[in-house]
Amino acid sequence: MDEDVFNIQLRKFLKKVGIQSQREIEQAVRDGLSAGTLNGTEVLKATVQLKLSGTSVDVTIEDDIKLS
């Protein structure tokens, strides 16, 4: 394994996940506020499941996102 290639590819993947996740969450919150299904004081439970083919990795990451 080439550690440098692996590290670059891993960072690229994590950056993509972070950017796309943030966009999706922001849009969902904006849509919820516009539709009136959110009032801006909620604490939203976020869950991400990480799987890596060819390995036993199957991890669920959870956290709360406070809107105010």
pLDDT at 58: 98
CA-CA-CA-CA dihedral for 62, 36, 68, 16, to nearest 10: 40
Q: What is the value of pTM for the model shown?
A: 0.91
Cβ atoms 47, 65 nearer than 8 A: no
Average pLDDT over residues 33-56: 98
Q: What is the pLDDT of residue 66?
A: 98
Q: What is the pLDDT of residue 4?
A: 98
Cβ-contact 24, 5 below 8 angstroms: no
Q: How confident is the model at residue 56 (pLDDT cuts 50, 70, 90)?
A: very high
pLDDT digits (tens, 9 = 90+) for 11-28: 999 999 999 999 999 999
Supply the range of the domain harboring residue 25.
3-66
pLDDT at residue number 10: 98
Q: What is the 3-state secondary structure (H, E, C) of 19-37?
A: HHHHHHHHHHHHHHHHHCC
Number of compact structural domains in the chain: 1
